[in-house]
């Protein structure tokens, strides 16, 4: 893992900024900041200015501390040290740091997996306990409905019972699907065909109404190593959410293109090769996702829908993770929501097929 280094003189001018520091803090390399006051050169990074400003004021300097850069969505681990002359006078300071963003993301994924494993065991037990009584309710309500064919009020009540029992059973089935390990049938998969099928599947689940669906597939899009059926489930779910968001009037865009996704060079000794990936955007012009809900939408059982189970997006994320991909939520360029699914053309899953 590479280190970023920033050194400053006692008067606050910059002595050294290495390339890794420029990458992590997204600093321009031209013009060269050496000789400039760090407060001016790093004005766009107030957290960095704050840390460096304490270099000659604090009695105990931070060692192996962490700093979260909200504007860059990065986490760094850093150590700040003073440089002293022969008379032990502080003549400068050096900030050593590493980009811990991917490390933290991996740790968060591990924590999430642990939570989901515990939750999954509990949910599986509950689901199995509920499945038999629900089946019994459906059967008995159906039998009772046949016995009172001439009583409209009873028929209406029994229809409601059957409807609610079927809804509860669908949630139980989704719970079982969520806790079940993802097993991929990996093969060369045409993403364009998957997206076409996903549109058909989504239309069978949610009324499309007057929604305009635009499919934009880049020329020469390569096939990916993946499970076509499960990828279809991913995009069907995202499309269903998009149809719900625009409420029968609006525009949904499905866009697929080949991109070279840069790997984080902080984890390799040499410059890593970009990973060829198919990037699929599912974009709608609905009201968008409120900022306070964005960190919650992939949590199991979190939903804003009246009849939702809160398991659709967690299942989507689980399938994407199994394909060594990633899913991100951002704002659409004008208004609405954009889910971006990045799938490597060749994934580690294909090694074991």
pLDDT for 216 equals 94
Task: Name residue, tokens 């040290």.
Answer: 81
Q: Of 179, 209, 224, which residue sits at a domain end?
A: 179
Is 90 exceeded by the pLDDT of residue 56? no
Specify the number of domains making up the chain: 3
Both 232 and 86 in one domain: the answer is no
Q: Is residue 59 scored above 80 in pLDDT?
A: no
Given a cut of 90, whether residue 238 has pLDDT beyond it is yes
Task: Give mean pLDDT, residues 113-134.
Answer: 74
The answer to whether residues 235 and 132 belong to one domain is no
Q: 276 and 214 in one domain?
A: yes
Residue 116 confidence (pLDDT): 66
Q: How far apart are CA 197 and CA 220, in angstroms?
A: 19
Mean pLDDT of 75-102: 89
Domain assignment of residue 139, given as a range: 104-179
Is residue 329 within 8 A of residue 191, CB to CB? The reply is: no
What's the CATH number where 276 sits?
3.30.565.10
Is residue 228 left, alpha or beta, with left meaning phi > 0 and alpha meaning psi from -120 to 50?
Answer: alpha
State the residue for tokens 């038999």.
Answer: 132
**Token pair of 130, please?**
């509920």
Same domain? For 205 and 338 the reply is yes
Residue that finishes a domain, picked among 132, 163, 179: 179
Asked if residue 134 has pLDDT above 60, the reply is yes
Q: Are residues 193 and 331 in the same domain?
A: yes
**pLDDT tier for residue 192 given thresholds of 50, 70 and 90:** very high
Do 223 and 266 fall within a single domain?
Answer: yes
Distance from C-alpha of 20 to C-alpha of 17, rounded to nearest angstrom: 8
Same domain, 51 and 74: yes
Give the whole-number percent of the chain exceeding pLDDT 90: 30
pLDDT digits (tens, 9 = 90+) for 10-49: 999 999 999 888 888 888 877 888 999 999 888 888 888 9
Sheet containing strand 74-84, strands side by side: 14-17, 4-9, 90-99, 74-84, 65-69
Tokens of 9: 């003189």
Same structural domain, 56 and 131: no
What's the CATH code of the domain at 117?
1.10.287
pLDDT digits (tens, 9 = 90+) for 308-324: 677 788 889 889 988 98
Question: What pLDDT was estimated at residue 351?
Answer: 44
């Amino acid at each position: 893992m590479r280190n970023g280094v920033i050194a400053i003189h006692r008067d606050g001018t910059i002595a050294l900024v290495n390339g890794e520091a420029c990458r992590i803090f997204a600093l321009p390399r031209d013009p060269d900041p050496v000789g400039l006051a760090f407060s001016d050169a790093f004005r766009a990074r107030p957290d960095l200015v704050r840390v460096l400003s304490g270099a000659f004021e604090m009695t105990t300097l931070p060692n192996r501390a962490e700093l979260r850069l909200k504007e860059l969505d990065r986490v760094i681990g850093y150590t700040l040290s003073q440089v002293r002359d022969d008379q032990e006078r502080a003549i400068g300071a050096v900030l050593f740091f590493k980009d811990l963003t991917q490390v933290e993301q991996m740790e968060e994924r591990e924590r999430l997996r642990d939570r989901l494993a515990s939750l999954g065991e509990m949910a599986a037990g509950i689901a199995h306990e509920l499945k038999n009584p629900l089946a019994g309710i459906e059967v008995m309500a159906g039998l009772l409905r046949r016995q009172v064919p001439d009583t409209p009020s009873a028929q209406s009540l029994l229809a409601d019972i059957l409807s609610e029992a079927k809804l509860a059973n669908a949630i139980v089935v989704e719970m079982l699907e969520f806790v079940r390990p993802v097993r991929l049938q990996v093969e060369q998969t045409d993403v364009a065909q998957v997206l076409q099928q996903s549109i058909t599947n989504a239309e069978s689940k949610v009324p499309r109404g007057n929604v305009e669906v635009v499919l934009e597939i880049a020329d020469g899009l390569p096939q990916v190593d993946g499970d076509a059926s499960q990828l279809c489930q991913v995009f069907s779910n995202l499309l269903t959410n998009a149809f719900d968001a625009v409420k029968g009037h609006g525009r949904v865009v499905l866009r697929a293109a080949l991109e070279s996704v840069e790997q984080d060079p902080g984890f390799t000794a040499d410059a890593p090769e970009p990973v060829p990936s198919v990037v699929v955007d599912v974009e709608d012009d609905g009201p968008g996702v409120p900022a306070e809900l964005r960190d919650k939408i992939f949590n199991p059982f979190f939903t804003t829908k009246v009849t939702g189970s809160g398991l659709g997006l967690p299942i989507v994320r689980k399938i994407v993770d199994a394909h060594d991909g990633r899913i991100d939520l951002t704002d659409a360029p004008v208004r609405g929501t954009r889910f971006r699914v990045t799938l490597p053309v060749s994934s580690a899953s294909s090694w074991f097929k």
